[in-house]
Structure 1
Amino acid sequence: MEEKGNPREQREVVKARRPEGSRPAPLAPSSAEKKRQRTASVAAAHNDDTIFVRRVPYTRLDVMGRGGSSKVFKVMGPDRKTYALKKIRTKGLDRETVESFENEISLLKSLKGKDGIIRLVNYEIQPGLIYVVLELGEIDLARKLFKMREEDKPIHENFLKLRWQEMLEAVNTLHHERVVHSDLKPANFLFVEGSLKLIDFGIAKAISDDTTNIARDSQVGTLNYMSPEAIQGQGGSIPGEKPRLKVGRKSDIWSLGCILYQMVYGRTPFAHVKNFMQKLQCITDPRVEIEYPPIPAHLSHLSGDLLSVMKGSLERDVKKRFAMDELLSHPLLSGRGAGCNAERELSLPLSQVQAMLKQMHATGGLTRDLNVDDLMSTINAQVKGGREIDITETLSSSIHRHNQGEEAVEAQTPHLTSSVSQSRPARQIDDELARSISNARRHLRHVDTIELAKQKQIQSESKAEGLEGLLRKGLSAHRRAIEVASGSRAGVEESTEDWRE
């Protein structure tokens, strides 16, 4: 029997027999390790086309724009919807610029879900990088206006009023949140699914609770749309203090006035002044009058209201300048002005039109002569009030009045003889005839009384025949009354006597 050796010695022998430089065979990877490797390889393969924002993958589709430190991509999210993704490289930027991007994210978070404000979808702040994902728009107002001018298309009244109202409401939402945008211009209003939404809040700033203005260390905004007070500013109260610019909500009103001026005339109030310093002086100097050429012919019927709004918005004296509530209630939008078109076109979503048709069908309104003025008045009031269209009550009221009118005409037929003779006997005959006709009509409306009588076991054929004969006789008298109503008094007396018999 062979003696077994020491295990340690056996290991040393095996080690001695292994060729120099060789290594033990690697262990087979586990299933979890294989899955990790596959995920890593896929991620590496798609790294150039995918951007992760808070671990949410967005696939790049196109480059929409680029600036000095940022790019904007059109991307597709995991929900198969397209968005705008802004990638900002903050390395090398000064702190104030970085804060403006962070400020925009903060404001968009607080304004999320507000009407007329671009919706923040996702964001992430990393060292040296900022990602912002926003809902995607089709075209901004600046490009839209340029395209219309390039194609020589005049701005239609409905387009002007609708877009002006959308801009006012978006800025009003911002002001209610105590925020001044400070850079309102056509390029910062974006068409999203057909409606204008306000974008670019990089230099917007909140108003503190104890004041109506905000203070800035420098001029911000686009010169052609900047208000005089945003350009001028005021010096600090402490000697040697850096001047600070004080602007409030009405600074945005001036910018809105410049946009409306551009929509009407095709340029901003001082676009014709090319020299930068001269333009600054023209905007701030009250002695320089703003030109208001004749309103274009296709908008001439709105000239009074348009001039009123533009002059009220472009008032250099802040205290005299229109406030937001004055613009929203102005006749240009409310339709109460003398210069407003009386026959305003009403634009409604398809769903509301379908709902109205269903309401008309349910009430029988599609087969009646309705009061269109009443209907349009109701619809206009509901649209202006932001309510759902409901014309059921108006339809019912209109149909009721229509039916009453028909009955009134019928009821007046027997009294046509009153113009023939005003003597007392004639009027008495008329009254008796009216009562007779009323009885006949009542019997005719309830002609099924015969069937009811049979159901109540009234077996007498003579009674049924007598009732039917009474109805027929009443109808005959009614017809003769109508035939002789415009004739002689003798004819009226004859028909009445027949009925009495």
Structure 2
Amino acid sequence: VAILKSLRDCERVVRLYDYEYVRKDQVLALVMEKGDQDLSSIITAAIKKGALDPTGVKFYWFEMLQAVREIHEKGVIHSDLKPANFLFVDGKLKLIDFGIASTTQADVTSVFKESPMGTLNFMSPESLQLVDHEAGKHCLKISRKSDVWSLGCILHHLVLGYTPFQHIQSTAAKMTAIAGASYVINFPEISDPNLLDVLKKCLQRNPNQRPTIQE
């Protein structure tokens, strides 16, 4: 709720109008802006027909970039970007579900989390890799670049009809493939070389090598 309140003036975030916490039932009720259709249902319908046309891919990609750019400029890392969390409202794609989002200070680029959270097919390698933190504690180091990886997975889904690790059925094997540098992501040839270049840049395993949203 605190993050949603801090993003109330963002055009690309579904608006929070009011909320109430019912303590005896331990229920949090939110009154939010109503959306029309999420991106997941749009992609599913398009795949059934064959594939999204290049114009559609570029439109949805631009809309997603606008939404994520806005929250990154506010110091918010979403951490669970996936098609179901982008919602069309009056013709604009907006972000929903900030349940595992984090905020960063102006001079800080990363946050530390104790355990992996998110939707596995869209999770970045670093969101599954433990690193040393204070007092010998192992944590996961997450940054805005983690959201860029997730966007790359969504773009892969838009262009090719599936996410990079979707074919791996076992959860453990999928986590190993995402986190392990030895697993090579296969990029089939596509007609637009610029789109292929963006895909490869977003899905760099080293977060420092991924572009920012502005780039």
Which category describes the TM-score, using the shorter chain as reference length?
over 0.9
- 2:185 is the alignment partner of 1:290: yes
Q: Is the 8 A contact 2:51 2:161 kept in 1?
A: no
Pick one of 191, 194, 198 that aligns with 1:305.
194
Q: Percent identity?
A: 42
1:173 corresponds to: 70
Deviations 1:411-457 (A, max 9, x none): xxxxxxxxxxxxxxxxxxxxxxxxxxxxxxxxxxxxxxxxxxxxxxx
Task: Give the TM-score normalised by the residue count of structure 2.
Answer: 0.94
Pick one of 14, 21, 42 that aligns with 1:144.
42
SS in 2 for 1:323: coil
Counterparts of 2:213 and 2:83, CA distance in 1: 18
Deviations 1:317-376 (A, max 9, x none): 1121112121xxxxxxxxxxxxxxxxxxxxxxxxxxxxxxxxxxxxxxxxxxxxxxxxxx
SS in 1 for 2:207: coil
Counterparts of 1:173 and 1:233, CA distance in 2: 29
SS in 2 for 1:234: strand
- 2:7 is the alignment partner of 1:118: no
Q: Name the CA shift for 1:276/1:129 in 2 (closer, same or farther; >3 Å).
A: closer
Q: Mark the runs of 5 or more structure 2 residues left unpaired by the alignment.
A: none
AA paired with 1:293?
P
Counterparts of 1:136 and 1:158, CA distance in 2: 27
Task: Give the alignment of 1:181-200 within 5 angstroms.
Answer: 181-200=78-97
Counterparts of 1:233 and 1:309, CA distance in 2: 27
Task: Give the alignment of 1:356-375 within 5 angstroms.
Answer: none
Q: Deviation of residue 146 (structure 1)?
A: 0.7
Query: Which portions of structure 1, spanning 4 or more consecutive aligned residues, are displaced by more than 4 angstroms?
Result: none
Counterparts of 1:139 and 1:124, CA distance in 2: 26
SS in 2 for 1:175: helix
Q: Name the CA shift for 1:209/1:291 in 2 (closer, same or farther; >3 Å).
A: same
- 2:121 is the alignment partner of 1:217: no
Counterparts of 2:135 and 2:4, CA distance in 1: 35
Which one has a bigger Cα radius of gyration? 1
Pick one of 58, 78, 96 that aligns with 1:161.
58
Pick one of 146, 165, 183 that aligns with 1:251.
146
Q: Deviation of residue 191 (structure 1)?
A: 1.2
AA paired with 1:313?
C
Q: Is the 8 A contact 1:117 1:199 kept in 2?
A: yes
Q: Deviation of residue 211 (structure 1)?
A: 2.0
Counterparts of 1:202 and 1:139, CA distance in 2: 20
AA paired with 2:148?
I
Counterparts of 2:161 and 2:58, CA distance in 1: 16
- 2:204 is the alignment partner of 1:315: yes
Deviations 1:182-218 (A, max 9, x none): 0000010011122211000011010134421011111
Counterparts of 1:164 and 1:208, CA distance in 2: 27
Q: Deviation of residue 280 (structure 1)?
A: 1.1
Task: Give the alignment of 1:421-436 within 5 angstroms.
Answer: none
Counterparts of 2:5 and 2:133, CA distance in 1: 33
Counterparts of 1:153 and 1:227, CA distance in 2: 28
AA paired with 2:197?
S
Q: Deviation of residue 235 (structure 1)?
A: 2.7
Q: Is the 8 A contact 1:183 1:222 kept in 2?
A: yes
Give RMSD over aligned pairs: 1.3
Counterparts of 2:174 and 2:27, CA distance in 1: 37
Counterparts of 1:153 and 1:194, CA distance in 2: 23
2:169 corresponds to: 274
SS in 2 for 1:144: helix
Q: Deviation of residue 162 (structure 1)?
A: 1.3
1:262 corresponds to: 157
Q: Deviation of residue 283 (structure 1)?
A: 1.0
Counterparts of 2:196 and 2:130, CA distance in 1: 28
SS in 1 for 2:52: coil
Q: Is the 8 A contact 1:208 1:214 kept in 2?
A: no
Q: Is the 8 A contact 2:79 2:146 kept in 1?
A: yes
Q: Is the 8 A contact 2:51 2:159 kept in 1?
A: no
Counterparts of 1:153 and 1:272, CA distance in 2: 19
Task: Give the TM-score normalised by the residue count of structure 1.
Answer: 0.41
Aligned residues: 213
Q: Mark the runs of 5 or more structure 1 residues left unpaired by the alignment.
A: 1-104, 327-501
Q: Between Structure 1 and Structure 2, which shows a larger proportion of strand residues?
A: 2
